[in-house]
Chains A and B, each alone.
Chain A
Amino acid sequence: MTALRGLLRKEFFHIRRDKRTAAVLVMLPVVQVLLFGYAIRTDVNDVRLAVVDPSPDSATIDLRNRFAAAGIFRIVATAPRTDDLNRLFQTGAAEQAIVFRPGFAEDLRRTEPAQLLVITDATEPNTGALLQAYAQAVVQQYQADLTRSAPQSASGARSIRPAITIAPIVRTRFNPTRASSNLFVPGLMAFVLTIISSLMTAITLTREKETGTMEALLVSPLRPWEIIAGKVVPYLAIGFAAVVLVLVEALIVFRVPLRGSVLLLLFEGALYILVSLNFGILISSRTSSQRLAMLGVFLTTLLPNILLSGFIFPLESMPAVLRWISFVVPGRWFVTIARGIMLKGIGLEYLWRETLYMTALAFGLLVVSLRSFNERLE
C-alpha cells in the first residue's frame, strides 16, 4: 500500500509540474462548455419569413400579425403570388414561407377547411423541423383563439367550427423554452469528461512507455492493478472536479435546470469517468506511442462519443447499425442519464437500465484492459 501511495504522489507531482497540462485539464471543460454552449445552438431566432397572400383580408392579416408578434419571425417579403418564392429560398432571403390559399378567409367563415401551406428550408434538418414546429404552433394558437371567441348560436352550439387544416403539432416536452443549452450541456459534460479521462490516461500511460519508466515499474514488485490504480485514481479525482465545475457553470451561466438528484448525477458522472478511464487504459495497452494513443482515443472514444451519443445528432434518426454500435458508446448512456436527471428530474427508477449498462461497460473494460496489460508482459 505504501507503494501505491508513492505512485499516486508521483502522479500528482506530474500533474502539478506540468503546468500547461494542468491548466488545460482544469480550464478546458469550462471553456468548452462556454464555447459549445454558445456556439452550438439550434434555437431559432429572427426567422426570415415570406408570406404569400393572394387575397388579403382580416383573417389572413390577423394571422400574419400573429407571426410577426411571435418574436422569432421577421416577415421579409409579402407577395400575392408564389412566383418569387423559389428565388427567395434559393438566395436564402427566406427560410420559411406561409402560403395562404386564395379564399382562405372565405373558407374560414364558411367553416370549410381553410388551407395554409407552410414551406420550410430544411437544409439543416434539425433547424428545419424546429421552424416547422414553431409555425405550426402559431397557427394552432390562432385556431384555438378563433374557436374560443366564436359567437354562440341560439342552441348554444358553436356556429363556427375551427377548420384550419394543418399537420399535427409535435409537442416538445421538458424543454418548453427550447433552449438548446439545456440539451447540450449534459452532452457536453460527457464530451469534456472523455477528453480528461480517456485522453489523459492514454497519453500519460504511453508516455511512461516511451520514456522507459513503465519498464521500471513492470520490473518492480508492483502488481498490474497497482500500476493501473496509480493512473486511474488521480484522473478520477480531476475528472470528478471537472464534473462539479461544469455542472456549476451549467447552472449559473446557462441556467440549465437541475430537477433531479445532484448526488445521483455526481455518482453517474463518476461512473462515466471510470468507463472512460478504462477506455484510455485499454487503448494505451495496445499502443506504443503517445501519438498513436491520441489517435486511438480520438477515433474509438471521442468521435463515437460525439457522433453516436445523441449529444448532437439524435440516435432515433440513425440507421440500425449505428444504433447497435452506440450500445458500447458510454456517452450514449451518460447523455441519457444526465438529461433525464437534469431536465426531467427522474431518478434511478427510470435510469437503472442505463446505469447498469455503464456499470457493465466499466467492469468489462477493466477486465479486458487488465488482461491486455498482463499479456503485454509475455
Chain B
Amino acid sequence: MSELAIQASELTRKFGDFTAVDRISFDVKAGEVFGFLGANGAGKTTAMRMMIGLLSPTGGSARVAGFDVYTQSEQIKRSIGYMSQRFSLYEDLTPRENIRLYGGIYGLTLAQIRERTDRMLTRLGMMNQADEAVRSLPLGWRQKLAFSVALVHQPRIVFLDEPTSGVDPVVRRQFWELIYEAASNGTTVLVTTHYMDEAEYCDRISIMVDGRIGAMGSPRELKDQFGAETIDEVFVKLARPAA
C-alpha cells in the first residue's frame, strides 16, 4: 500500500463554460480522516465523483489507492467504498439482504458475507431488525447501516458524501464513532459535510470555495491561520473575504 491514499494534482472538471472544480491539488494519507468542506455548489461532490469514477476529469491528474482515475477506474472501484448523499440501500430489502447483495457485488464468498453480516448487525445493535424491511428503520439507523454496508468489502478508502445530513445530533455522534473505528482499522476516510462542528473531528480538512481549495490543514492550523475560534468562523471568513 502506498503511503498516500489519494493524490490529486490540478484536478479540474468543467461543465461547458462552468468550472465546477478548478485545479485542486491535495494529498490524503492512508488511515487519515479527511474532510471536504464547502458551501452548497462549491464543488465538493463533483470532486468526489471524479475520484470514485462516476465522472471523468477534464484536466489534471489524480491517483486513488495508487490507481489512475483516467485509466484504472476498475481497480479503483474494487478498492473503495462509497456512501452517497442519497440513500444507497434498497428500502424494500432487509438489512441482511442488503448486506448480502452488496457483499456479492464486491465478490465476497457466502461464508464471508454471513460472518460479516453477524458482526456488523451486532455492532450496530440491529440484530432484532435484521429481517425487517430497511424502510421501516429510523433514518439514523439506516444511515449507520448504509455506512457499514459501504465497508462490507473492507475497502482501503471510503468516500462519504454528506453522510449525516438530516440526522439528529446523537446519531451524528454515533456515526462519527463508526468513522473513527474504520479509520483505526486502517481505512482512509474522505468525507464531505457542511456541518462545521463535524469538521473538528477530522484529522485534516480542505475548505472549497467556488471550485477551488480555499484553505487546507488540520482544524487547529486553520483556526490559528485565520485567527478564528471555530472552523465555522474560518469558513465565514473564507467564503466572504470582503466582509
Contacts and interface: CB of A to CB of B under 8 A. Distances in A.
Nearest to B82: A219
Nearest to B161: A215
B90 A18 contact: no
A377 B100 contact: no
Nearest to A216: B88
Interface in B80-103: 80, 82, 84-93, 97, 100-103
Contact of A222 (B56, B85, B105): B105
A18 B93 CA distance: 11
A211 B77 contact: no
Most chain B CB neighbours (cut-off 10 Å) among A2, A216, A217, A377: A216
B55 A377 contact: yes
Nearest to A5: B104
Contacts of B91: 211
Interface stretch (A8-16, A255-263, A301-309): A8-16
A3 interface: yes
A378 interface: yes
Contact of B92 (A3, A17, A221): A17
B54 A9 contact: no
A86 to B, nearest CB: 64
Interface string A5-38: 1110110011001100000000000000000000
A10 B100 CA distance: 10
A3 B110 CA distance: 11
Contacts of B106: 3, 220-221
Nearest to B150: A216
A12 B86 CA distance: 23
Given A2-B104, A221-B107, A216 B82 contact: yes
Contacts of A377: 53-56
A215 B88 contact: yes
A269 B89 CA distance: 35
B102 A378 contact: no
Nearest to B53: A219
B5 interface: no
B224 to A, nearest CB: 37
Contact of B77 (A2, A9, A219): A219
A213 B74 CA distance: 19
B174 to A, nearest CB: 22
A213 B86 CA distance: 8
B77 A17 contact: no
B185 to A, nearest CB: 21
Given A212-B84, A378-B56, A221 B90 contact: no
Nearest to B133: A17
Interface string A285-304: 00000000000000000000
A211 B87 contact: yes
A117 interface: no
A217 B77 CA distance: 10
B88 A3 contact: no
Interface residues of B toward A: which range? Answer: 20 to 34
A215 B104 CA distance: 17
A2 B107 contact: yes
B52 interface: yes
A14 B92 contact: yes
Interface of B, secondary structure class, is loop
Interface string A205-227: 00000011101111111100000
A6 B104 contact: yes
A3 B84 CA distance: 21
Contacts of B102: 216, 220
Contact of A10 (B80, B85, B87, B90): B90
A10 B101 CA distance: 7
Contacts of B92: 13-14, 17-18
B101 A6 contact: yes
B77 A215 contact: no
B55 A378 contact: yes
B97 A13 contact: yes
Contact of A219 (B54, B86, B93, B101): B54
A13 B97 CA distance: 9
B78 interface: yes
Contacts of A217: 105
Contacts of A5: 104
Interface in A180-238: 211-213, 215-222
Interface in B32-56: 52-56
Contacts of A211: 86-87, 90-91
Contacts of B74: 221
A293 to B, nearest CB: 17
A212 to B, nearest CB: 3
A216 B84 contact: yes
Most central of A5, A7, A13, A220 by chain B CB within 10 Å: A220
Given A218-B54, A220-B105, A222-B105, A10 B93 contact: yes
Interface string B54-90: 1110000000000000000010011010101111111
Contacts of B53: 219, 377
24 contacts: A2-B104, A3-B106, A6-B100, A10-B93, A13-B92, A13-B97, A212-B84, A212-B85, A212-B86, A212-B87, A213-B87, A213-B89, A215-B82, A215-B86, A216-B84, A216-B102, A219-B77, A220-B77, A220-B102, A220-B106, A221-B77, A222-B105, A377-B53, A377-B56
Q: What 3 pairs across the A-B complex have the smallest Cβ distances?
A: A212-B86, A6-B104, A216-B88
